[in-house]
Amino acid sequence: MKILVLLSAVTFSLNAFCQKSDYLITSKGDTIRGNISLKNKTFYVDGADQLIVNADEVIKIKSDNYKGNFVVHCKLESYTDNLDELAIDWIKKGTIDTVMILDEIYSTKKINLYFGKSDDKTQYYFYKTPSDARPVQLVVRYFFQGGLDNYTNDRAKYRGERSKVNIVEIKGYVNQLRAIMGDCKKISEQMWELASYRDYSLIKLIKKFDKCN
């Protein structure tokens, strides 16, 4: 009996500790502690009482339920790299009104890089400069180019290698970063050409940019 009472007390203490260690910070600078969950762009904080906070009023969280810390309510420019969903010569575009919880994966005085996943587990990157109020999405899209369909319609144009299907990446994120870093001579044209929508590639650009005056 004593063992059961002891185990119950330990479990209660652990739950209380988790709730106290989890918190969110509002745009007004208030810190609210408790177990945090997110649903329909609303945060629910279970502490002594349940509090409901609109996601637009939250800038940061710390919770074992989520990997990231930074909260961004945004019109997410969606994309897919699933081959079954790509079409020839047609770019699938769409926006999702959603809340992203981002993990800061690299930070400098000039620019910070963030990573997050949408509800369908698609990976996204965001950046933030000192002039940005909140992280900004880095945009990418993919589509197929070439293929036998084009070869049938225009055989003179699509022969040999050009009749094959290739995946084309629309590097909107490169244009975004060039608008910020374009004056940095340490970033070569080849680096821009080889840039990819991956953390190591984006961090490589940021490191060069950080060394520029």
Quick one: pLDDT at residue 8? 46
Q: Running DSSP on this structure, what letter comes out for residue 85?
A: G
- Percentage of the chain beyond pLDDT 90 is 69
Task: Judge whether 79 and 141 are in contact, CB under 8 Å.
Answer: yes
The pLDDT-based confidence of 152 (bands split at 50, 70, 90) is low
Q: Phi-psi bin for 44: left (phi > 0), alpha (psi -120 to 50), beta?
A: beta
The span from the CA of 158 to the CA of 169, in Å, is 20
Show the domains of the chain with their CATH numbers.
Answer: 1-66 (2.30.30.100), 69-213 (no CATH)
Mean of all residue pLDDT scores within the chain: 86
The pLDDT-based confidence of 20 (bands split at 50, 70, 90) is low
